[in-house]
Structures are given as C-alpha cells and as structure tokens.
Amino acid sequence: MAAQASPLNSAHHWHLHVSRSPMGESEFRFAPLLRWLGLTLIVVLVLQMAAVVVAIDWADTSRPPQVTGPLVALAPLGFLGLLVTLIASRLEHPQQRHTPLRWVVCGCSALLAAGMIAAIPMSLSSEAGDAIQLQNLDQGRQALKEARQFREDDQQVEALGEQLAQAGQLAADATDDDKRRAAEVMVDEQIVQMEAQLQRFEAQRTRESQQRLIGGTASAVVLAVAFALLALTAVL
C-alpha cells in the first residue's frame, strides 16, 4: 500500500519549488552581469580622468587648468557605474547589508562627492577668465580710452587732417575745415568700431561665464549631493 504524502512534506516541496522559481534564478544570473557592467563603467571613468589629467599643461601659468569641466562631464558616468554595481550587490546578497562591494561603492561615491565639492570653488574662480582674455579686454578698453582722448584734442585732429591731405585722401583744394571734418569722421568711425568690438567681446565673456556657472558650478553641486546620497545608500 503506497504511503500518502503528508501535508508537511507537500508544503516543504512547494517551498523549494518557489525558491527555485525561474524569476529568482533569472535575477541571480543577471546580478553578476550588472556587477561587471558597473565595474566596467567605473574603470572607464578612471581611465578618462587620467587622460584629462595627463593632457593638462601644468606648467602653463597664463590660464588656470581646465579640470572642472571634464570632471563634471565625466562624473555622471561614474555615478551610473556605482549605481549599477550597488544594484547588482543587492540582488546577489539581499540579506547582507555590509559587503565588501558595497563598501567599495560607498568609498568611491564619497571620494567623487569630495571631488565635486572641490570643483565648486575651482569653477567659481575660473569664471573670471584666463589671463589672455583679461589682457585683451584691458587692451581694448585702453585703446578706446586713448581714441576718445585723441578725438577731444583739437591739435591732434588737425594734424591728422593734414596727414590725410598729404596722403592724397582729400581733394587738393580742401580747406582746413574740410581736413578737420575728414579727420573727425575717421576718428569717430574708429571709435564706433572699437566700441562694437569691445561690446561683442564682453558679451561673449558673459555667455561663457553663465555657461560655466550652469554647466560647471550648478552641476557640481547636484552631483555632490547625488554621490553623497549614493554613499549613504550603499551602507544603510
């Protein structure tokens, strides 16, 4: 006579069947792939940052090192890699809160958060522009100031009129008033051109400053908060 299966044995068999369901096995197989994908992104981030650092001419003192922009641009790649690695760790070890991989994620996230915080004052200090741009701007302002002073000096304007007449740019019978008006027109046109050029240069500097403020400083603040939260999430 065949023995009937007890309810306890049936429940135990059903529990084993559920624990080895295709869904659980699929998540277990998917976790290592996520882990290696995340670690690959982190390695790519390290290599890209190393390439940025090597490419900088640290001996050039005419302009500050352009580190903030590339660092902020590469940071989302590191955030994605660390996040994917953390998700993989939680899928592989859902019952363990502190694993070596999670501590690695926490440490890397904290390091990148500190890097973003350090990038904020660097971005603010670079908004003044490099030394070459400032020098060109000062030279343009000085040239415009000298042109206006020249325009107000009657003797220099009259001398310029005589030079125009001698160069054959005026009629042979031009009077002193004609020479003076021609010189004034020439100086006024130069002043207008210099003012327009200076305004374009200052507008360009303003746009570049706003771009650095939004793309550099603000992004660094957001990424610093994101990395700090990711570091806490990894160990909590």
% of residues, the chain, pLDDT over 70: 81
Q: How many domains does the chain have?
A: 1
> Does 33 map to a domain?
no
Q: Considering the domain boundaries, does residue 194 fall inside one?
A: yes
Q: Does 46 fall in a domain?
A: no
Please answer whether residues 211 and 100 qualify as being in contact, where contact means their C-beta atoms are separated by less than 8 angstroms.
Answer: no
Comparing CA positions, the residue from 41, 36, 32, 20 lying closest to residue 91 is: 32
Residues with pLDDT less than 70, the chain: 1-28, 58, 60-66, 124-132
Inside any domain, residue 113: no
Question: Considering the domain boundaries, does residue 197 fall inside one?
Answer: yes
pLDDT tens digits for 67-123?
777 888 889 999 999 999 999 888 888 887 788 889 999 999 999 999 888 888 777
Cα 38 from chain centroid (whole Å): 23
pTM of the prediction? 0.60
> What's the angle, vertex CA 33, arms to CA 32 and CA 36, rounded to 5?
85
Any domain includes 149:
yes
Residues in the chain: 236
Look at residue 152 and tell me if it is in a domain.
yes
Domain that holds residue 183: 131-216
> In this predicted structure, what is the pLDDT of residue 130?
59
**Distance between CA 101 and CA 78 in Å, rounded?**
15
Is there a domain that residue 47 lies in? no
Q: Can you give the pLDDT at residue 223?
A: 92
Q: Which amino acid is at 77?
A: L
Q: How far is CA 98 from CA 71, 94, 213, 233, in A?
A: 29, 10, 38, 11
Calpha distance 116→122 (Å, rounded): 10
